[in-house]
Amino acid sequence: MPHSVATATPTDEPLLWAMLFEASHAAEQNMTSDELRSVPELARYVEGWGRPGDLGVVGGPSGGAGAAWLRLFPADNPGYGYVDDATPELAIGVAPQLRGSGLGTTLLRRLLADARQRYDAVSLSVRQSNPALRLYERLGFDIVPGSHVVNRAGTTSVTMVHRFR
């Protein structure tokens, strides 16, 4: 079944929160969605969606099963995959029942095509054990040398960058 994809708007903020819950592996830490909203390091990826620089897509068989989005962070309050003030950081989440269906690839391809018009690069942070790391590599992301860090779950994450220019 083909996946529909649309540009994310401020009305999609509830879906972005749900997909941040998936993307951050919050359930592995027995965190509820309400608790996730109270963690500043995570909440900043969604809170107030639609501010200048935000760019995202939502989609799925019925339009609400996944999302991929970009947000800029400043050097004095960087995200997990921060590279510089001009490079937005990617977050992506897909509902568990649709993982492996191609939805994540569809969302990411569309978001990268849109981002190419606005930015020189896109960054992200990903656990080394996450199968999505292979997808990111296939789509042109490279691991930033020296970016290996122990994340809040106690595993290793890396920063990756996709450069358009």
Q: For the chain, how many structural domains are there in total?
A: 1
Residue 86: per-residue pLDDT: 97
d(CA 128, CA 55): 25
For residue range 13-70, what is the model confidence (pLDDT) as tens digits?
Answer: 999 998 999 888 777 778 888 888 888 889 999 999 999 999 999 998 766 799 999 9
The yes-or-no verdict on residue 150 having pLDDT over 70 is yes
CB–CB of 125/79 below 8 Å?
Answer: yes
Nearest residue to 25 via CA among 42, 11, 1, 6? 42
Tell me how far apart the alpha carbons of residues 86 and 7 are, in angstroms, rounded to a whole number. 21
- pLDDT at position 78, please? 93
Residue count of the chain: 165
**Would the pLDDT of 1 be above 90?**
no
Whichever domain contains 142, its CATH number is 3.40.630.30
Instruction: Report pLDDT for 142.
Output: 97
> CB neighbours (10 Å) of residue 53?
12
In this model, does residue 125 exceed pLDDT 90?
yes
> What's the chain's average pLDDT?
90
- pLDDT, residue 81, reads 95
Question: What is the residue range of 120's domain?
Answer: 4-163
Which neighbouring-strand residues pair with 150?
156
Closest CA to 89 of 108, 65, 73: 73
Rounded to whole angstroms, the Cα distance separating 15 from 86 reads 26
pLDDT(107) > 90:
yes
Q: Which string of b and e fits 26-39 if b means at least 16 CB within 10 Å?
A: beeeebeeeebeee
CB 141 within 8 A of CB 124: yes
**Of 160 and 30, more confident:** 160
Give the C-alpha separation, 130 to 65, whole Å.
19
Two structure tokens written together for 30: 């027995």
